[in-house]
Structure formats: structure tokens, C-alpha cells
Chains A and B, each alone.
Chain A
Amino acid sequence: MIRITTLILLMTLVGCAGMGVEPWERDLLAKDSMQLTPDYFDNFYDEHIYFSKEASNGGQGVGGGGCGCN
């Protein structure tokens, strides 16, 4: 899986070189609602609850506090 993902990431970097927008076309992308984590605490609480109830966690980033709840 690691190799495949690395390949996908590399292909994304190379393949996406032609994609994207000009700076003046960022009107929608610049909105708060289009940020990758638009609602910090919604995401934070969800991750915290599921961490204590399920066997999987992580994926969105590294860091964050530990918890004795799992």
C-alpha cells in the first residue's frame, strides 16, 4: 500500500502541474467554507469521540493530544 500511495502522490505532484487556477480565480476557494477543515471543533470532537469508540484513528494529520479513552 505504501508503494502504491507514494506513486499516487508523485503522480499527483507531476500530473497536477498543469491544473489549478490563476490567483484571481480563487474567489470560491478562499471562502472559509472551502477550507479543508472548515470547522475546527466539529472535526476535533468527531475525532475524539470516534477515537474512544473505534479501533481506527488518524489520517488527517499528525500531532494532537493523547487520551486514556482508548
Chain B
Amino acid sequence: MQLKKIKGRMAVATCALLQAASPVAGAAGSEWDVDTSFLYYGEADGRVQAFEPAIRAGRALGDDDRIELRLVVDALTGASPNGAYAITDTPQTFTTPSGDSSYTIAPGEQPLDSTFIDTRIALGADYTQSLDRMSRIIWGANLSGEHDYFAMGVSANYARDFNNRNTTLNVGLGFNSDSVNPHSGVPTEFTPMRDSGAGKNVDGDSETKTITDFMIGVTQVIDRKTILQLNLTLGSVSGYQNDPYKIVTVTDNPATGLPVTGSAFFSGVNLPYVYEKRPDSRQKNILFFKAMHHLEEDVVDFSYRYYSDDWGINSHTLGLKYRYQLADSYLQPQVRYYSQSAADFYTHNLVLGADVDAGTGEVLVDYASHDYRLAESETITLGLKYGMPMANDSEFSVRAGLFTQSVNDGAVPAGQETPDLDAMMLQVNYSFVW
């Protein structure tokens, strides 16, 4: 009886202590927990570079509620693949998205559109509403804008604790409404890219897309050192999902893969490339598993994701981070492996006379894209982070990462393969209480 009483009192005292130590419950009224971060991301060979400062601030409201605000700025420059592939013999000329100028790619070089430049600003807010001692809802809102894309999203996540707070059930629903406003109008799907100044084939100024996600998940404390998470997400995207700047090469000889010449249709102002077309619906299933294990000093963070959608893409993602505790700081090596299959409609080119009507130029297949991101590919990332906790609950950390993405094009003529993409990232974080 006495033992039970002591156990009960210890539970109450420990709970109170832990709550005081927890950043979520413990932010003493007027204090903001602030995270600031800056990312530099750079791809090799003059491709994309991004500079991305971000800030997040959260504070307790009343006894149990909490608010969080976020701002992210994303400045991008560089060159991005336009969907055509390298050919070895002759230069290739393309029209910029604006339709009024052109650029030429040397033989053997991957066609990149160097007019790629953009600034994106994203705002987000979350409000955690405590329903009772064991359950809460996090309401979220997001807004982002860039010169050709605007996104709005809302979400609700319900969480309920069970089993002495060792099990938590999470149910989430998210809805996004996005609009795409490409340079000089939305290119008409499967129509040829035209010579600069000849007028672009357009189909209106903008298109829309809606994204709905439903997630159900469980987190479970296994023992004093281990916690597991398992989530199932069902996602649905409907509406415009083409990349309005990507084209597909039209050839009349699959053995050489060279862009068609001497065609009645693809001649004069019509270049031998057509704007891509993807399905307007996409259903995704995602299984995500995570395990965190404390080794008294160090921490192991393992995650696995299986992704599958009705475009034919299946992927596996494995992540491992090992936090190695030093005297007053820590080092964290990180590794990530990603592998995906190709979308059903991913194609190297379209063949005149088979996929494309030779007389009218009408494309006879339902969908086609040569966006390398829809190809079979593998990505390997290696990273290292160094973190240094400082006085007054602040922390400074720096993280560097290198990744290589390789695409398996399948059987394509020599010299037309998609080159590997190498990129590096450098990130600096500073967190403090204000």
C-alpha cells in the first residue's frame, strides 16, 4: 500500500519535472522558441543553385495551446533540363518559355534551359489546440507564391494518447489548392515547340491542381530507450500535373534517336519537340516507418518509406543518422538511399509514324514525358552535422551533404543518356529562446 502511494507520488513529481523540461509544455508564457536556418544548395555543371533562409517561432498560449509561425524564402538561379536529351552530331536549338528568344545546345551537351530563375516565399502557421489531457488538434495553414506558381493549403491533425501516454494515435487530413501560371501562357499539351517569335501554342494563362492527403499513424514507446512510428498516407492529386517547361523529342529513327528532319509537319516554325502530357489524376499510397533508439549517450535514427502510385512509380527510401555525443557537442553522420521505378508514360522519345501521326503531327499515345525525375533512378546522400548546445537553451549547428542521382535510361542510343546529377548542400542553424 505504502509502495503504491510512493509510486503514485513519484509519477506525479516526474510528470511535473518532465513537463517543466519539455520545450513544448514548458515555454514559460511569454517566451518564443525560435529556430533560424540558412541553406545553400548547389548543383554541379552550372545547374540549379538555391539560397534559402528560414525562420520558425513558436510559443505556448495559455496552459496547453501553442502557436507556431514560419517564413521561408527560396531564391533559385541556374539551368534546368528542358526534357530533350543530348545528341552527339549536331547542335540543338530551343525556344525559351517566353517564346521570343532561343538558345542553342552544343553537340553532346545535355539540353538545359538557363533562363531558370525564381524567388519563392512561403508562410505557414500552426495552432495546437488542446482538447483534453490526452488529445489535441493541430490546425495548419500554408501559403506560398513564386512568379509562376501559387499554393494554398490547410490541414488538421488529431492526436490522442493512450496506454499511459506510451501510444499515440495520429489522424491527419490536408488539402492544397495550387495554381500554375507559366511564362506566356500554358503550352498546349502535345503541340510542337515553335521557333522564337513564331507564337507559342497556348491553352489559357493558368491551370489548377488540388492535393488531398489523409494520414493515419501510431507512435509507440517500446522501452526507456526506444520509440517507433508507423504512418500510412493516402494521397490524391487532381488537375494539371504537367511540367509546362518540359518537352519530348520526336524522332523518325529510334536507332539513332536523332530529332526528326524532313517532316512536313515538324519543319519551318515547328521544332521537332512536343510539350509533355501527364495524367490529370494521381493516387499515392505511402508507408513510413521510423525508429529512434537511445544508447545512453548516442542516438540512432532510422527511417524507411515505401511509396507507390498509379503512375507506376514505386520507391524505397532508407535513412540513417547516428548522433555521436562528444563532451559538449555532437557529430551526426547521415546517409540516405533512394530508389524509384519509372512512370509508365516515361519515354526517351516519341517516334514519328508510330507515336505521332506523320501527316498531322497529332500525338497518338495518351501520355508522355521525358522528365528525368519520372525515370528509374537512384539517389545516394552522405551528410555530416556538427551541433553545439550553448548557454540559455540556444544551439548552433552546421550540416553539409553531398548527393548523387543516377538515372537508368534503359536502352537508348549512346551519348543520349541522362547524366548523373551531383549536388551539395550546406546548412547553418541557430536556435534560441526569446
Contacts and interface: CB of A to CB of B under 8 A. Distances in A.
B220 A20 contact: yes
A5 B305 CA distance: 13
B18 interface: yes
Main secondary structure of the interface of B (DSSP, over half): strand
A56 B120 CA distance: 21
B235 A65 contact: no
B166 A41 contact: no
B23 A2 contact: no
Given A12-B218, A55-B313, 5 more contacts: A19-B223, A21-B221, A31-B294, A48-B74, A66-B153
A20 B164 contact: yes
A23 B427 CA distance: 36
Contacts of B399: 42
B292 A34 contact: yes
Contacts, number: 232
Contact of B153 (A59, A61, A64): A64
Interface string A3-44: 001101100110011011111111111111110101111101
Given A9-B230, A60-B231, A66-B144, A41 B425 contact: no
B379 A67 contact: no
A53 B378 CA distance: 11
A9 B232 contact: yes
Interface of A: 1-2, 5-6, 8-9, 12-13, 16-17, 19-34, 36, 38-42, 44-46, 48-50, 53-56, 58-70
Nearest to A64: B142
A9 B219 CA distance: 10
A59 B305 contact: yes
B65 interface: no
B174 interface: yes
Interface string B131-157: 000000000101110101101111101
A62 B379 CA distance: 24
Contacts of A13: 162, 167, 169, 218
12 contacts: A12-B218, A12-B230, A17-B163, A20-B223, A23-B15, A27-B224, A29-B225, A30-B18, A39-B397, A58-B213, A58-B284, A59-B288
Interface stretch (B34-42, B91-99, B100-108): B34-42
A42 B164 contact: no
Contacts of B79: none
Nearest to B299: A33
Contact of B385 (A29, A36, A42): A42
Interface of B: 10-11, 13-15, 18, 21-23, 35, 37, 39, 41, 52, 54, 56, 72, 74, 76, 118, 120, 122, 124, 140, 142-144, 146, 148-149, 151-155, 157, 162-167, 169, 172-174, 176, 178, 180, 211, 213-225, 227, 229-235, 243, 284-288, 290, 292, 294, 296, 299, 301, 305, 307-309, 311, 313, 315, 317, 323, 330, 336, 338, 340, 343, 373-374, 377, 379, 385, 397, 399, 405, 421, 423, 425, 427, 429
B286 A59 contact: yes
A16 B268 CA distance: 69
B379 A53 contact: yes
B289 to A, nearest CB: 9
A26 B315 CA distance: 35
Chain A interface, DSSP helix/strand/loop, else mixed = loop
Contact of B287 (A5, A23, A24, A33): A5
Contact of B211 (A6, A8, A66): A66
Given A20-B166, A55-B374, A59-B231, A68 B180 contact: yes
A55 B373 contact: yes
Contacts of A68: 118, 120, 146, 148-149, 180
Contact of B157 (A22, A45, A62): A62
B169 to A, nearest CB: 7
- Closest 6 A/B residue pairs (Cβ): A20-B166, A66-B151, A68-B149, A63-B155, A62-B174, A59-B288
Given A25-B224, A45-B427, A61-B215, A67 B234 contact: no
Contacts of A58: 213, 233, 235, 284, 286, 307
B14 A23 contact: yes
Contacts of B232: 2, 5-6, 9
Contact of A63 (B148, B174, B307): B174
